C-alpha cells in the first residue's frame, strides 16, 4: 500500500500514529481524525463552490455574447472574492415581524442540505465519506431538507410574496421528486443495490447504465433540474419579475448562502448523473479504479460536464408557467417514469442471464421502443388538438 493507491488510509495511519504518540487515546484520535476529514471535505466543496461562481458567470456571458468577469485576476478568476466581500459587508436586514430564529436558520439549512449529499459521493474506489447501503434514499432525504429551508424562508419572512413564492416552488419540488425517485430505482434495479459505490462497481466491468437505460438518465436529469429550481423550472426566482420569490427579504451573506447552495447543488447533481449512469470514477482517464487521484478527476470532470449541461438548459430554454410545469410532471413525466420502471424490470428479469451484449441490446431497444411509443402518443394527441382548434364552432341557435 502506498499514497497513490490509497491516500486516505496512508494519511489516517500517519495521523493515528502521530496523535497516539503524543499520548492521545486511540478512540479520541479516531474521532479527531474523522472530524478533520469532514472539515477537509466541506472546505473542498466550498472552494469548489467559489470556482462555480466564476464558471457560471463566464458561461452565461458566452451564451449572451459577452465577456463576463475579466478584470480581477487572470481571466477574471479572482472575481468571486470581491463578490464575497461585498456580500459580507452589506447590511444585514431582518424584516419587522419575522421569526428571527427560523429566518436565520433557513439559508444555513439550504446550503447544509447540499453539503450532506457529499457524504455519500464516491469520489474514487476508496475515497468517500460513507458507503451507505441506502445511499439513494439518503439522497432524497437530504434533498428534502432543501425543500424545508425554502418553506421556512418564505414563512418566516412575514411577507406574503415570499410565502406565495415558497408555496409555488415547494409544489414544483415535491411534484418532481416522484419521477426522480422512480428514476433512481432504475440503477438500483440494474445494480441490485442502493449503494453509490455498489452502483459504480456494477458498471466497472459491464455496460454503463446510460446504455441500458438512456430514458432513465434523461428522466433523472430533467427531474433534477426541476428539483434544483433552475430554468426552465426556476419559480424560486424569476429574473423578469419584480418579486424575487421566497428569498426576497434576504440580503448580504444570507442571500449568498442560498445562491451558493444552488450552484453547488447543480454541480452535485451533475456528479450524481455521472456516477449513476456514466460509470463514476472509471472514465475518461484510465486506471481510475486503481489510482484515487485519477478517479477523483474523472468524477469531478463528469460533474462539471453535466453542470455545464444544466447551465446550457437554463440559459437557452424559457421559463414555464406553473400550471404547465405541474401538468408536464403529472401528465407526462410521472407516467413515463413508472412505465419505464416496469419495462426495465420485465426486460431485466427476462434477459439478465444472456451474454452481456445481448442483455445490453435488449435493454437499449426496450428504451427506444418505449420512447417511440411515447412520441407517437404525443403526436396523436397533438393532431387531435389541432383538429379540434381548426373545427369551426357551431352557429348559435336563435
Beta strands in the chain (DSSP E): none
Listed as own residue / partner, the contacts of 287-293 with beta carbons closer than 8 Å and 24 or more positions apart are 288/124, 288/125, 289/125, 289/204, 290/5, 290/125, 291/4, 291/5, 292/4, 292/5, 292/6, 292/7, 292/8, 292/123, 292/124, 292/125, 292/126, 292/127, 293/4, 293/7, 293/124
Contact 347, 362 (CB under 8 A): yes
pLDDT per position as a tens digit, 312-346: 998 888 888 888 888 889 989 999 999 999 999 99
pLDDT per position as a tens digit, 212-238: 999 999 999 999 998 887 878 776 665
The number of CA neighbours under 13 Å toward the Cβ of 139 is: 27
At residue 240, the pLDDT reads 55
Which pTM does this prediction carry?
0.90
Domain ranges of the chain: 1-89, 100-378
pLDDT per position as a tens digit, 255-278: 899 888 888 999 999 999 999 999
At residue 241, the pLDDT reads 59
Amino acid at each position: 500500500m502506498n499514497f497513490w493507491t490509497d491516500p486516505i488510509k496512508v494519511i489516517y495511519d500517519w495521523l493515528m500514529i502521530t496523535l497516539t504518540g503524543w499520548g492521545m487515546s486511540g478512540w479520541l484520535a479516531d474521532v479527531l481524525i474523522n472530524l478533520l476529514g469532514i472539515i477537509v471535505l466541506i472546505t473542498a466543496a466550498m472552494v469548489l463552490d467559489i470556482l462555480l461562481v466564476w464558471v457560471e458567470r463566464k458561461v452565461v456571458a458566452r451564451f449572451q455574447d459577452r465577456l463576463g468577469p475579466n478584470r480581477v485576476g487572470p481571466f477574471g478568476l479572482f472575481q468571486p472574492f470581491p463578490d464575497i466581500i461585498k456580500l459580507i459587508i452589506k447590511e444585514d436586514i431582518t424584516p419587522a415581524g419575522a421569526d428571527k430564529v427560523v429566518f436565520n436558520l433557513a439559508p444555513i439549512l439550504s446550503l447544509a442540505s447540499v453539503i450532506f449529499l457529499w457524504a455519500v459521493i464516491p469520489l474514487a474506489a476508496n475515497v468517500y465519506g460513507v458507503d451507505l447501503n441506502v445511499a439513494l434514499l439518503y439522497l432524497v432525504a437530504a434533498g428534502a431538507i432543501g425543500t424545508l429551508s425554502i418553506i421556512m424562508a418564505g414563512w418566516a419572512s412575514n411577507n406574503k410574496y415570499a410565502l406565495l413564492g415558497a408555496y409555488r416552488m415547494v409544489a414544483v419540488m415535491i411534484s418532481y421528486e416522484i419521477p426522480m425517485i422512480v428514476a433512481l430505482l432504475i440503477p438500483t434495479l440494474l445494480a441490485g443495490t442502493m449503494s453509490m459505490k455498489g452502483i459504480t462497481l456494477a458498471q466497472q466491468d459491464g455496460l454503463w447504465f446510460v446504455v441500458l437505460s438512456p430514458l432513465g438518465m434523461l428522466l433523472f436529469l430533467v427531474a433534477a433540474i426541476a428539483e434544483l429550481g433552475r430554468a426552465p423550472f426556476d419559480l424560486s426566482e424569476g429574473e423578469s419579475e419584480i418579486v424575487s420569490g421566497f428569498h426576497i427579504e434576504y440580503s448580504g451573506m444570507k442571500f449568498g448562502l442560498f445562491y451558493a447552495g444552488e450552484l453547488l447543488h447543480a454541480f452535485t447533481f451533475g456528479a450524481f448523473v455521472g456516477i449513476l449512469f456514466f460509470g463514476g470514477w472509471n472514465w475518461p482517464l484510465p486506471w481510475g479504479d486503481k489510482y484515487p487521484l485519477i478517479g477523483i478527476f474523472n468524477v469531478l470532470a463528469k460533474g462539471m460536464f453535466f453542470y455545464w449541461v444544466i447551465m446550457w438548459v437554463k440559459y437557452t430554454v424559457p421559463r414555464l408557467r406553473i400550471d404547465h410545469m405541474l401538468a408536464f410532471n403529472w401528465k407526462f413525466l410521472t407516467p413515463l417514469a413508472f412505465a419505464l420502471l416496469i419495462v426495465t424490470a420485465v426486460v431485466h428479469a427476462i434477459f439478465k442471464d444472456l451474454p452481456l451484449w445481448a442483455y445490453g441490446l435488449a435493454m437499449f431497444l426496450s428504451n427506444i421502443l418505449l420512447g417511440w411509443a411515447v412520441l407517437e402518443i404525443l403526436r396523436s394527441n397533438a393532431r387531435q388538438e389541432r383538429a379540434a382548434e381548426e373545427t369551426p364552432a357551431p352557429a348559435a341557435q336563435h
